[in-house]
A = this chain, B = another copy of it.
Amino acid sequence: MKSKIKVGLIRVITLQDEELLKLHGRIIEENFPYMKVISRCIPNQPFGIYDDKTEQEAIPKIVALGLEMAKNDIKALIISCAADPGVEDLRSKLKIPVIGAGSASAHLALGIADRIGVITISMEVPKVIEDILVDKLIAKATPKNVKTTLDLMKKENEKYILEAALQLKRKECNAIILACTGFSTIRISSKISRKTGVTVIDPVIAAGLFAWYSTLIA
């Protein structure tokens, strides 16, 4: 048996709770047992990234954290956010593969299907996803009552998430991207897939998939 490969993961929200901090890493380890994921989060952003201003504030923190984490023998670095903040910058500064949950999701969707739907938490599809999908982006939907990643945690909103997915199915989307890693946190991708029969792209698993391949030989 191969020894585990260490991969770094950056949460773009300040989390005090150790379990919550490690949750995305744990989802990746469950799906790709030969990786060990080291999770860290950026400082002083208790509400994460939710608009342009908070994204601009986060990017230098993500880049600084990524450069620091890369000193510790990790074989790849995951930025666990569907907007890919800092990914381009870190790719130019680091030798190891840098994987963004947004670009990973869009590329995974396009490798499987050609009519892509996106579920967002605000009205906008993250730019990185839009730029990759171009004319394969058929439709988007936002669950009722969901404005931030924290709204995804409210059990009563689950039905609205499933409704948004069914809207995309009615528009004949053959893959659905969940465009916020908060959807991964609530582990809803399988449920949506079973409900709709459509391939659902979970952004954290997508990032894990690309990291797994990138470290296959490392």
Docked pose: A194 CA to B216 CA in angstroms? 11
A112 and B209 within 8 A (CB): no
Instruction: Let me know if A113 is at the binding interface, CB within 8 A.
Output: yes
| Chain A window 124-162, contacts with chain B (Cβ cutoff 8 Å), 1 for yes, 0 for no | 000000001000000000000000000000000000000
**In-complex Cβ contact of A107 among B107, B174, B194, B214 (8 A):** B107
Q: Which residues of A contact B (CB under 8 A)?
A: 88, 91, 97, 99, 103-104, 107-108, 110-114, 132, 174, 189-190, 193-194, 199-200, 205-206, 209-210, 213-214, 216-217
Least CB separation from A214: chain B residue: B112
Contacts of A210 in B (CB 8 A): 108, 111-112
Contacts of A189 in B (CB 8 A): 217
**In-complex Cβ contact of A199 among B108, B174, B214 (8 A):** B214
B111 and A91 within 8 A (CB): no
Docked pose: A181 CA to B71 CA in angstroms? 36
**In-complex Cβ contact of A111 among B107, B113, B114, B199 (8 A):** B107
B108 and A111 within 8 A (CB): yes
